């Protein structure tokens, strides 16, 4: 009897541990470029994200200052004027992949990703499609969605208004590995 209980606990703990996939170096990119002007875009290669493959819950976190720009001045303005990165260092997302079923993913599978995006302390609901596939022992996710700076109380001065797109596209490319 004791043995069975011990075995049952062993299996239980194994299944709980094996349910999580994570990345520390997810790629999050935003594009707010307008044709004919200097591209306004940056990539964050250090996004953390965790998926619970049993429930489809997903949580991610990135540090605003870790966005890489090609131009130093743009980086400075982004952190100080628009994102207020010292006051709001993080942007987070918490949500669910609806109908997520880890075992049915092989080639590319499309799911609806729904959740709350928090930027500058302002929460906004996001709903978009996310594409999942498997490569070797990794779980790959790709998604993109659009946001408006005004939704997060980001004010864009008149002088640069024509050079920054009104709608900003955020795209994600995460390679999850199993959490052991």
- Binding residues for other proteins, per CB under 8 A? 22, 24-25, 45-46, 48, 50, 59-61, 63, 65-66, 68-73, 75, 85-86, 89-90, 177
Q: Which is nearer to other proteins, 44 or 170 (CB)?
A: 44
The total of other beta-carbon atoms located within 10 Å of residue 1's CB is: 5
Decide if 141 contacts 176 (C-beta within 8 A). Answer: yes
Buried b (16+ CB within 10 A) or exposed e, 116-131: ebbbbeeeeebebebb
Alpha-carbon dihedral 75, 152, 81, 92, rounded to 10 degrees = -40
CA distances from 9 to 5, 13, 16, 19, 52 (A): 6, 6, 11, 16, 20
Cα separation, 144 vs 72, whole angstroms:
26
Minimum Å gap between C-beta 30 and other proteins is 17
Minimum Å gap between C-beta 164 and other proteins is 15
Structure tokens at 160: 């640069």
Q: Which is nearer to other proteins, 39 or 109 (CB)?
A: 39
Minimum Å gap between C-beta 161 and other proteins is 18
Q: Which is nearer to other proteins, 90 or 114 (CB)?
A: 90
Q: Which is nearer to other proteins, 70 or 166 (CB)?
A: 70
Q: Which is nearer to other proteins, 86 or 101 (CB)?
A: 86
Cα separation, 44 vs 95, whole angstroms:
20
Minimum Å gap between C-beta 22 and other proteins is 7
Minimum Å gap between C-beta 130 and other proteins is 18
């Amino acid at each position: 009897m004791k043995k069975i209980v011990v075995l049952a606990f062993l299996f239980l703990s194994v299944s709980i541990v094996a349910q999580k996939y994570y990345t520390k170096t997810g790629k999050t990119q935003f594009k707010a470029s307008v044709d004919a002007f200097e591209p306004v875009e940056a990539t964050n290669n250090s996004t953390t994200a965790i998926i619970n493959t049993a429930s489809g819950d997903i949580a991610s976190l990135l540090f605003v200052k870790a966005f890489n720009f090609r131009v130093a001045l743009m980086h400075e303005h982004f952190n100080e004027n628009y994102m207020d990165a010292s006051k709001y260092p993080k942007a987070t997302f918490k949500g669910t992949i609806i109908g997520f079923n880890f075992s049915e993913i092989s080639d590319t599978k499309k799911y609806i990703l729904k959740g709350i995006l928090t930027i500058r302390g302002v929460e906004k609901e996001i709903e978009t499609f996310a594409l999942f596939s498997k490569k070797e022992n990794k779980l790959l996710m790709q998604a993109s969605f659009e946001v408006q700076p005004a939704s997060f109380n980001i004010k864009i001065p008149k002088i640069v208004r024509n050079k920054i797109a009104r709608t900003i596209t955020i795209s994600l490319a995460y390679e999850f590995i199993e959490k052991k």
